[in-house]
Amino acid sequence: MKKYLIERHVPGIHKLTPEEYKGAAEVSNAALAKLAPRIQWVESYVTEDKTLCVYIAEDEAVIHEHSKLSGFPANVITEVGRKIDPMTAV
Protein backbone atom coordinates (compact mmCIF):
# COMPACT_ATOMS: atom_id res chain seq x y z
CA MET A 1 0.00 0.00 0.00
CA LYS A 2 1.16 3.51 -0.82
CA LYS A 3 0.41 6.86 0.81
CA TYR A 4 -1.20 9.62 -1.24
CA LEU A 5 -2.09 13.29 -0.81
CA ILE A 6 -5.31 14.21 -2.58
CA GLU A 7 -6.34 17.77 -3.32
CA ARG A 8 -10.08 18.17 -3.74
CA HIS A 9 -11.38 21.50 -5.06
CA VAL A 10 -14.77 22.02 -3.42
CA PRO A 11 -15.97 25.64 -3.49
CA GLY A 12 -17.40 26.65 -0.11
CA ILE A 13 -16.17 23.53 1.74
CA HIS A 14 -14.76 25.73 4.50
CA LYS A 15 -18.25 27.12 5.20
CA LEU A 16 -19.96 23.80 5.97
CA THR A 17 -21.58 23.13 9.32
CA PRO A 18 -20.45 20.30 11.60
CA GLU A 19 -23.53 18.33 10.48
CA GLU A 20 -22.58 18.80 6.83
CA TYR A 21 -19.02 17.61 7.53
CA LYS A 22 -20.51 14.58 9.29
CA GLY A 23 -22.65 13.84 6.23
CA ALA A 24 -19.69 14.17 3.88
CA ALA A 25 -17.65 11.77 6.04
CA GLU A 26 -20.54 9.28 6.01
CA VAL A 27 -20.69 9.40 2.19
CA SER A 28 -16.92 8.88 1.98
CA ASN A 29 -17.02 6.02 4.50
CA ALA A 30 -19.76 4.25 2.51
CA ALA A 31 -17.63 4.43 -0.65
CA LEU A 32 -14.57 3.23 1.28
CA ALA A 33 -16.51 0.23 2.61
CA LYS A 34 -17.24 -0.85 -0.98
CA LEU A 35 -13.55 -0.62 -1.89
CA ALA A 36 -12.03 -2.14 1.26
CA PRO A 37 -9.34 -3.27 1.87
CA ARG A 38 -7.78 -1.50 -1.13
CA ILE A 39 -8.07 2.02 0.30
CA GLN A 40 -8.08 3.75 3.68
CA TRP A 41 -8.80 7.37 4.59
CA VAL A 42 -6.31 8.66 7.16
CA GLU A 43 -7.35 12.31 7.59
CA SER A 44 -8.29 15.49 5.76
CA TYR A 45 -7.55 19.17 6.23
CA VAL A 46 -10.04 21.82 5.18
CA THR A 47 -8.78 25.06 3.65
CA GLU A 48 -10.62 27.71 1.70
CA ASP A 49 -12.46 25.98 -1.14
CA LYS A 50 -10.54 22.70 -0.96
CA THR A 51 -9.56 19.75 1.18
CA LEU A 52 -6.15 18.12 1.41
CA CYS A 53 -6.60 14.44 2.20
CA VAL A 54 -4.21 11.70 3.25
CA TYR A 55 -5.08 8.22 1.99
CA ILE A 56 -3.39 4.83 1.97
CA ALA A 57 -4.24 2.92 -1.19
CA GLU A 58 -3.12 0.15 -3.52
CA ASP A 59 -2.76 2.58 -6.39
CA GLU A 60 -4.10 5.77 -7.92
CA ALA A 61 -6.87 3.89 -9.74
CA VAL A 62 -8.68 3.00 -6.51
CA ILE A 63 -8.58 6.67 -5.48
CA HIS A 64 -10.37 7.51 -8.73
CA GLU A 65 -12.92 4.75 -7.97
CA HIS A 66 -13.54 6.30 -4.54
CA SER A 67 -13.98 9.69 -6.16
CA LYS A 68 -16.64 8.33 -8.55
CA LEU A 69 -18.50 6.46 -5.81
CA SER A 70 -18.44 9.33 -3.32
CA GLY A 71 -18.92 12.18 -5.76
CA PHE A 72 -15.93 14.04 -4.29
CA PRO A 73 -13.39 15.26 -6.85
CA ALA A 74 -9.77 14.13 -6.82
CA ASN A 75 -8.25 17.07 -8.67
CA VAL A 76 -4.62 16.39 -7.79
CA ILE A 77 -3.29 13.02 -6.59
CA THR A 78 0.32 12.87 -5.40
CA GLU A 79 2.08 9.74 -4.20
CA VAL A 80 4.15 10.38 -1.07
CA GLY A 81 7.75 9.37 -1.64
CA ARG A 82 9.28 9.98 1.75
CA LYS A 83 8.29 11.54 5.05
CA ILE A 84 10.49 13.94 6.96
CA ASP A 85 9.68 15.69 10.23
CA PRO A 86 11.51 17.26 13.21
CA MET A 87 12.68 13.80 14.33
CA THR A 88 14.57 13.39 11.04
CA ALA A 89 17.19 15.76 12.52
CA VAL A 90 17.79 13.58 15.56
Measured CA to CA in angstroms, residue 46 lies from 6, 7, 10, 35, 43 at distances of 12, 10, 10, 24, 10
Domain that holds residue 38: 2-89
| Structural domains of the chain, count | 1
What is the number of other CB atoms lying within 10 angstroms of the CB of residue 72?
Answer: 20
Integer Cα distance of 75 and 36 in angstroms: 22
Tell if the pTM clears 0.85, that is, is over it: yes
Q: 39 near 57, Cβ under 8 Å?
A: yes
Question: What pLDDT score was predicted for residue 36?
Answer: 97
- Please give the helix or strand (H or E) that residue 31 lies within, else none: helix 18-35
CATH number where 69 lies? 3.30.70.3090
Q: 66 near 53, Cβ under 8 Å?
A: no
Q: What is the pLDDT along the chain (90 residues), one digit of tens a residue?
A: 999 999 999 999 999 999 999 999 999 999 999 999 999 999 999 999 999 999 999 999 999 999 999 999 999 999 999 999 999 999
